[in-house]
Amino acid sequence: MDRREFLGKAGATAAAVGAASAPAIATAAGKKIKWKMVTSWPRNFPGLGTGAAWLAKAITEMSDGRLTVKVYGGGELVPPLEVFDAVSRGTAEMGHSGAYYWKGKSPATQFFTAVPFGLTAIEMHSWLHFGGGMALWQEVYDRFNLVPFDAGNTGVQMGGWFNKEINSVADLKGLKMRIPGLGGEVLKRLGGTPVSLPGAELFTSLQSGAIDATEWVGPYNDLAFGLYKAAKHYYYPGWHEPGPVLECMVNKDAWNALPKDLQAIVSAATQAVSNRMLAEYTANNNQALNTLVTKHKVDVRRFPEDVLASLRQTSDEVVAEVAAADPLTQKVYDSYRNFRDNVIAWHDVSERAYYNARGAG
Scanning 169-209, the segments in alpha helix (DSSP H) are: 181-189, 202-208
Residue 287: Cβ within 10 Å count: 12
Across the chain, where does the E strand assignment appear? Answer: 33-39, 67-72, 94-97, 146-153, 160-162, 176-178, 193-195, 213-214, 233-236, 245-251, 299-302
DSSP string covering 5-16, please? Answer: HHHHHHHHHHHH
Dihedrals phi, psi of 103, to nearest 5 degrees:
-60, -25
Q: Number of folded domains in the chain?
A: 1
User: Count of residues for the chain?
Assistant: 361
Consecutive H or E run containing 54:
helix 48-62
- Judge whether 221 lies within some domain: no
Residue 128: CA atoms inside 13 Å, Cβ hemisphere, count? 27
- Judge whether 166 lies within some domain: no
Domain extent for 255 = 31-153+243-282
Please check whether residue 290 is in contact with residue 299, taking contact to mean a CB–CB distance below 8 angstroms: no
Q: What CATH code is carried by the domain that includes residue 249? A: 3.40.190.170
The CA-based angle 44-89-178, given to 5 degrees, is: 50
- Judge whether 158 lies within some domain: no
Model confidence, pTM:
0.88
- pLDDT tens, position by position, for the chain (361 residues)? 454 443 344 444 444 444 433 333 333 456 899 999 999 999 989 999 999 999 999 999 999 999 999 999 999 999 999 999 999 999 999 999 999 999 999 999 999 999 999 999 999 999 999 999 999 999 999 999 999 999 999 999 999 999 999 999 999 999 999 999 999 999 999 999 999 888 889 999 999 999 999 999 999 999 999 999 999 999 999 999 999 999 999 999 999 999 999 999 999 999 999 999 999 999 999 999 999 999 999 999 999 999 999 999 999 999 999 999 899 999 999 999 999 999 999 999 999 999 999 987 6
Q: Report the pLDDT value the prediction gives residue 14, as an integer from 0 to 100.
A: 40
Q: Report the pLDDT value the prediction gives residue 29, as an integer from 0 to 100.
A: 52
Q: Report the pLDDT value the prediction gives residue 124, as an integer from 0 to 100.
A: 98
- Judge whether 273 lies within some domain: yes
Q: Report the pLDDT value the prediction gives residue 31, as an integer from 0 to 100.
A: 84
Across 40-76, where does the E strand assignment appear? Answer: 67-72
**Positive or negative CA dihedral for 153, 154, 156, 158?**
negative
- Judge whether 74 lies within some domain: yes
What residues are paired with 178 via a beta bridge? 195, 214
